[in-house]
Chain A
Amino acid sequence: MTRYRLSVDNDRCRRYGICAAEAAQLFRLTQNGGLRYLRAVPSDAVPAAEAAVRSCPTLAIDLEER
């Protein structure tokens, strides 16, 4: 079973939170505007992770197969 791994480029990410809107189970904005995310993607969350990659305003998200 392929596993997927997320990583977010700290320099490109501007914390818009579009990822949190597309994949709330993987990304969230903190109260003061930081971003937290899960590195290991559960298999049922892969479509949401892909939606986040597509929608990121700054191409900051990388979704890798392991």
Chain B
Amino acid sequence: MGERIVIVGAGPAGLRAGERLRERGFGGELIVVGEEPYRPYHRPGLIKPLLTGKMRPRDLRLPVLTDLDATWRYNTRATHLVPEEHVLHLPGGEEIRYDGLVIATGAQARHLPGAPRQDPRVHVMRTVADAVAVQKSLSRTRAGVAIIGGGFVAGELASAVRSLGRDATIIMRGSSMLRHVPGDDFGETVHALHEAHGVQVVTGAWVQHWVPQPDGIAMHLNTGQVVFAGCVVLAVGSVPAVSWLRGSGLILDDGIMCGPTCHAIGASDIVVAGDAARWPNLRFDTAPRRVEHWLNAVEMGRAAADNLLAGQESAKPYTPLPRFWTEQHGMRIQGAGTPALAKDTVLLTGPVAVGRRVTGYVTGGNLVGLIGWDTPPGMLKWTRELEKQTTKAMRLRLARRTPTRPAHDVTTRMPLAALNHEHPPAAYHEHPPAPTSHERRDPTPTFGELPPAPHGFPPPHEPPYRHHPAHPPAYDDDFPTTFDEIPPVFEELPPTFYELPPTR
């Protein structure tokens, strides 16, 4: 790798990319350019912890695990990029030449057309500055808060507002909250959860007339209702922060289009990580998508750094199993995979009541996603299963795509002959037996009883995106209570429980 790598974007993706570059031994110059005046911080903590005062902005700073030895350019917004000259342009005509570039500029809160943004009581919620402004707004009024939108941010905001004892109204266009999750009952349950905690939820609604007044804002809805609020937060999604790349030659289409290895299409020395990246996650299919969840920024930053150092030829595709969570009124909702791709759902575990339920999301006989309600142990177990299944499905799909070429699994560089038989790994160094007709058939698992993972399946040579312990313990039963050298001192944190109040 060359002399200088520049990271554009000082959020989690940029920070973790920088760390990984140093971890891997990159000894050249590292420059991090960030438009905000802050060190990288924890965005999920902006809503509940910051608004309720549990954390202050400086508590949200991300811990740095490897010394970056970098030049940090805060308060600096990149103006444009000239990839063929390998030059990044900063304000005032400043130019920085790079040998490698990591783009991690993330996303911005989407504007709501018609909303009076000049009014100090109207906010978006994306940055620390936004969150502090909302806090100030809340302190200046006793009237309620109106939240426009029906996604994760809207729900978390409503929960934070209610936990402060203030009135909250959600105004949303759609008919159900969190609508990217297929299935009606998910949205209905979330809706019921909010109403049970005193949130007024108005669906199928948008603001037709905004009427700012001295003590608040009156919103005249299409439904005929009028909502009055002392503070309004627009939570209508986010748009990738890529307008600075217009004219650069990079392909911008709801984010920066990338290949499977995080490399920007058309540039071998540029990788993209986080909310701005639109890339094909080969774990599921070849359609490029953006993943807006926090953990993806962390993981993709590391993978992008690895792949920038490896070069496009030897880079491994970034094929994460996405994981996400949201907490609404104390209820922890967790997800894994891509439920949005599913055609069907299947109940994997849990009683009839909502708590402890894990729902599987299935398409074409394959499990592609999970959602769990307040059941981290269940999610832990099923996420491991989902990862195993999707890994296998991915490898078989990739093998089938190039049947004639001597095959190498692109994710691990192991001979693909190893995938299609049940013998232990040692056997394939000699002549592996030809796959039998049994293995050629697409497995159609019956849920409730997932098919056993094929034994002898070689572990990934180097996990694409995180470290696996060599022999992960099975659940609960055989967790070792003593280690060979270091006697354990276990700290026990009592569980926290959540239960839905009985319905009226």
Q: Does B285 contact A (CB under 8 A)?
A: no
From 17 to 66 in chain A, residues with beta carbon under 8 angstroms from any chain B beta carbon are 17-18, 20-25, 28-40, 42, 45, 47-48, 50-51, 53-55, 57-59, 62-63
- Nearest Cβ distance between residue A28 and chain B, in whole angstroms? 6
Q: How far is the CA of A53 from the CA of B323 in the complex (A)?
A: 16
What residues of chain A lie closer than 8 Å to B376, measured between beta carbons?
Answer: 15-17, 29, 33
Q: Decide if B325 touches A57 in the complex (CB within 8 Å).
A: yes
Closest to B63 in A: A53
From 365 to 386 in chain B, residues with beta carbon under 8 angstroms from any chain A beta carbon are 375-377, 379-380, 383-384
Q: Decide if A51 touches B466 in the complex (CB within 8 Å).
A: yes
Mark contacts of B456-467 with chain A using CB atoms, 8 A cut-off: 1 yes-contact digit, 0 otherwise: 000000000011
- Nearest Cβ distance between residue A66 and chain B, in whole angstroms? 13
The one of B62, B375, B472, B492 in contact with A36, judged by C-beta atoms closer than 8 angstroms, is B492
What residues of chain A lie closer than 8 Å to B453, measured between beta carbons?
Answer: none
What residues of chain A lie closer than 8 Å to B323, measured between beta carbons?
Answer: 18, 21
The one of A10, A32, A42 in contact with B486, judged by C-beta atoms closer than 8 angstroms, is A42
Q: How far is the CA of A10 from the CA of B496 in the complex (A)?
A: 10
What residues of chain A lie closer than 8 Å to B42, measured between beta carbons?
Answer: 59
The one of A7, A10, A36 in contact with B490, judged by C-beta atoms closer than 8 angstroms, is A36
Mark contacts of B25-66 with chain A using CB atoms, 8 A cut-off: 1 yes-contact digit, 0 otherwise: 000000000000000001011000100001100011011010
What residues of chain A lie closer than 8 Å to B45, measured between beta carbons?
Answer: 58-59
Q: Decide if B493 touches A13 in the complex (CB within 8 Å).
A: yes
- Nearest Cβ distance between residue A45 and chain B, in whole angstroms? 8
What residues of chain A lie closer than 8 Å to B492, measured between beta carbons?
Answer: 34-36
What residues of chain A lie closer than 8 Å to B60, measured between beta carbons?
Answer: 59
What residues of chain A lie closer than 8 Å to B295, measured between beta carbons?
Answer: 18, 55, 57
Closest to B302 in A: A54
The one of B63, B375, B384 in contact with A21, judged by C-beta atoms closer than 8 angstroms, is B384
Q: Decide if B488 touches A40 in the complex (CB within 8 Å).
A: yes
What residues of chain B lie closer than 8 Å to A24, measured between beta carbons?
Answer: 469, 472-473
Q: Decide if B383 touches A21 in the complex (CB within 8 Å).
A: yes
Give the interface centre of B55, B469, B483, B489 by most chain A CB atoms within 10 Å.
B469
The one of B299, B325, B384 in contact with A16, judged by C-beta atoms closer than 8 angstroms, is B325
Q: Decide if A17 touches B63 in the complex (CB within 8 Å).
A: no
Q: Does B476 contact A (CB under 8 A)?
A: yes
Q: How far is the CA of A35 from the CA of B466 in the complex (A)?
A: 21
The one of B65, B375, B496 in contact with A50, judged by C-beta atoms closer than 8 angstroms, is B65
Q: How far is the CA of A39 from the CA of B473 in the complex (A)?
A: 18
What residues of chain B lie closer than 8 Å to A38, measured between beta carbons?
Answer: 483, 488-490
Q: Decide if A51 touches B332 in the complex (CB within 8 Å).
A: no
What residues of chain A lie closer than 8 Å to B62, measured between beta carbons?
Answer: 59
Q: Decide if A42 touches B483 in the complex (CB within 8 Å).
A: yes
Q: Decide if A33 touches B495 in the complex (CB within 8 Å).
A: yes
- Nearest Cβ distance between residue B330 and chain A, in whole angstroms? 9
Closest to B465 in A: A51
What residues of chain B lie closer than 8 Å to A32, measured between beta carbons?
Answer: 495
Closest to B294 in A: A57
The one of A10, A25, A51 in contact with B473, judged by C-beta atoms closer than 8 angstroms, is A25
Q: Decide if A51 touches B479 in the complex (CB within 8 Å).
A: no
Q: How far is the CA of A57 from the CA of B335 in the complex (A)?
A: 13
Closest to B41 in A: A59
Q: How far is the CA of A28 from the CA of B120 in the complex (A)?
A: 46
Q: How far is the CA of A15 from the CA of B493 in the complex (A)?
A: 9
What residues of chain A lie closer than 8 Å to B473, measured between beta carbons?
Answer: 24-25, 28
Q: Decide if B334 touches A16 in the complex (CB within 8 Å).
A: yes
Q: Does B16 contact A (CB under 8 A)?
A: yes
Q: Does B494 contact A (CB under 8 A)?
A: yes
What residues of chain A lie closer than 8 Å to B63, measured between beta carbons?
Answer: 53, 59, 62-63
Q: Decide if B469 touches A23 in the complex (CB within 8 Å).
A: yes
What residues of chain B lie closer than 8 Å to A28, measured between beta carbons?
Answer: 473, 479
17 A-B residue pairings within 8 Å (CB atoms) = A7-B491, A12-B49, A17-B379, A20-B380, A24-B473, A33-B375, A33-B377, A33-B497, A34-B494, A36-B490, A40-B488, A48-B467, A54-B65, A57-B325, A58-B45, A59-B59, A59-B63
Closest 3 CB pairs of A and B: A33-B495, A34-B495, A17-B376
Q: A15-B496, A51-B466 known; 8 other A-B pairs, CB under 8 Å?
A: A10-B493, A18-B323, A22-B466, A24-B469, A33-B496, A33-B497, A38-B488, A57-B44
